[in-house]
Structure 1
Amino acid sequence: MSYSLPIETDRLTLRRYVETDYDDLLKLQSDPDVTRFLLYDVRTPEQVREALAGRMADVPMDTNGQALTVAVILRETGRHVGEVTLFMDTVEHRGGELGYVFQPEFHGRGYAAEAAVELLRLGFEELGLHRIIARLDARNTGSVKLLQRLGLRQEAHFVRNEFFKGEWSDELVFAMLRDEWHKRS
């Protein structure tokens, strides 16, 4: 499987992380408002260095469990606004998962949607995935609205299925199939 980076949109560049992205990644991963609905808590500088090393590695996306995380850069200013991730859930069944995290100061401007569309395109058109899902905490209403705008449909609502950061939480699962992607675009 192969894919092409960087990806340019009207306003954004999606590219591999580089060493100089450390401060931006630290800002993102050490903000409790950002990590509230993520599977990890606020990260230390050392944990962020490890995370950055993983993001800089070449990922062929040909093995279950691999993840391609790219930095989302505002073309006009060169500022790091967030990141989008495509996980390879299952090579055999050509299934992936979409994730995204953005700096709070850039919420509400459409950057997450613009970047996520490109990762859906990469997954379906370049990697040949059959199905891409997104899983999230049901309280994350901003992400729910984003996934709906992207055209993913809600397939599941698991009630209090995870003990998440000290409390039981509901999980939603959204999905899109390759043929739905082609009908959408």
Structure 2
Amino acid sequence: MRQIVEADWPLFCRLLKEPKVIELAFDQPSPDEIQARFDSRLPEWTHNSEHWLCLIIIEKETGKSVGVTGFQIDQQDRSRAEVGYLLLPEYHGNGYGTESLQRLVQFAVEELHLSCLTATVTDGNEASCRVLEKCGFEFSQRIPDAYEIRQQRYDDLIYTLAVNKTL
């Protein structure tokens, strides 16, 4: 994995437009919103950054970019962060989400000494729930009707990883 750069625009744009990627995550953003999200992730990231650390997931065998992963440190409690990931559909089910999240957790714990990681999953996104559970996250909260996608309300499922369980 490596931090996102300008040359990753085609991957990022595709991830945020691909129906199979976003169907249980969010409505397709407008071109301006996609550009703003991309631009917000480009500055060099440090532990004190307010923006998302956005890492490109690269397939070892081919060198192809297959998705993104990363986290955003909580500005109120800098020992906590929210993680997220998106993979191109042709790479779903190959373990890339799990492997990249495991490495991200390792970095957060060993290098940044974060004490808690969280993830929000739209109810019905069973694959993301499985990835989180494989990485040690536990379901901690359901927020009813928290999010709207294509004019339908969904519950948010909150998953938490307490660092002391990973060490």
| In structure 1, distance between residues paired with 2:18 and 2:97 | 18
What amino acid does structure 1 have at the position aligned with 2:56? A
Q: Does 1:141 align with 2:126?
A: yes
> 2:46 maps to which residue?
60
- Map residues 109-120 of structure 1 onto 2, 5 A cutoff: 109-120=94-105
Residues in 1 aligned to 2:47 and 2:25: alpha-carbon distance in whole angstroms = 22
The one-letter code matched in structure 2 to 1:22 is W
Question: How many residues get paired?
Answer: 167
Determine if the alignment matches structure 1 residue 181 to structure 2 residue 146.
Answer: no
Residues 16 and 94 (structure 1), Cα distance of their counterparts in 2 relative to 1, 3 Å cut = same
TM-score, structure 1 normalization: 0.81
- SS in structure 2 opposite 1:118? helix
Q: TM-score, length-normalised on structure 2?
A: 0.89
Residue 110 of structure 1: how far off its partner (Å)? 0.3
CA distance in structure 2 between the aligned counterparts of 1:83 and 1:43, rounded to whole angstroms = 19
The CA deviation at 1:91 is 5.5
* Sequence identity (%): 23
Asked if structure 2 preserves the Cα contact closer than 8 Å seen for 1:29 and 1:43, the reply is no
1:122 and 1:100 map into 2 onto residues whose CA distance is: 15
Is 1:26 the counterpart of 2:10 in the alignment? no
Gapped runs of 5+ residues in structure 2?
none
Work out the CA distance in 1 between the residues paired with 2:35 and 2:157.
31
Distance (whole Å) between structure 2 residues aligned to residue 105 and residue 173 of structure 1: 26
Selected match of 2:55 from 54, 70, 91: 70
SS class of match (1:85): strand
Q: What is the CA RMSD across the aligned residues, in angstroms?
A: 1.9
Query: By how many angstroms is 1:172 displaced?
Result: 0.6
Q: Which amino acid aligns with 1:104?
A: P
Relative distance call for 1:18 and 1:162 in structure 2 (3 A) is: closer
Task: Please tell me the residue identity of whatever aligns with 2:61.
Answer: E
Cα distance in 2, alignment partners of residues 70 and 127 from structure 1:
16
- Measure how far apart 1:61 and its partner are: 2.7
Q: 2:32 matched to 1:41? A: no
Q: How many Å separate the matches in 1 of 2:54 and 2:88? A: 15
Shift of 1:112: 0.6
